[in-house]
Amino acid sequence: MVKRQRLLLVEDDPLSQELVSRVVDKEFPHVDLCVAYSGRDALTFLEVDGDELTVDLVLLDLQIPLPDGKEVLARMRSLPATRHLPVVVLSGSEDPADLERCRELGASFVRKPADYDAYVEAVRNTLRYWCETVAW
């Protein structure tokens, strides 16, 4: 039996939320998807879980309402319960400083393609890696 895994998607764009949800539902039925619509929602969700963190992976957009994704990531890394939680930044940012900052904070960075099919493939490959290769 496959262990259920819990994914937190931090994304304010409804179309991106729907895309990730469809990929998870279709290809990763053992993954429970939780969605936070802002940085505040994400941090609240993670704080509620506290020491009994039940999230296995975070997919984080950088361009979210306050605090933004970079601040959420920095705060996560400052807390013992989320310091080592795997984070994949899914962002359309082309700023090299964003990429460098995410890497400094121990997050993977996947550029969010503008093309729908390419975006689906990026999400699929990211989840396949984490669900099947790393097998949190």
70-74-80-85 Cα dihedral, nearest 10 degrees = 30
Helix (H, G, I), strand (E, B) or coil at 135: coil
pLDDT digits (tens, 9 = 90+) for 71-130: 999 999 998 889 999 999 999 899 999 999 999 999 999 998 888 899 999 999 999 998
pLDDT value of residue 3: 75
Taking the domains of the chain in order of start, what are their residue ranges?
Answer: 5-134
Helix ranges, the chain (H): 14-27, 39-49, 69-78, 96-104, 116-128
Q: What is the per-residue pLDDT across 19-47, written as a single tens digit (0 to 9) for each?
A: 999 999 999 999 999 999 999 999 999 88
pTM greater than 0.85 (yes/no): yes
Q: What's the CATH class of domain 5-134?
A: alpha beta
Residue whose C-alpha is closest to residue 122's, from 18, 19, 32, 10 = 19
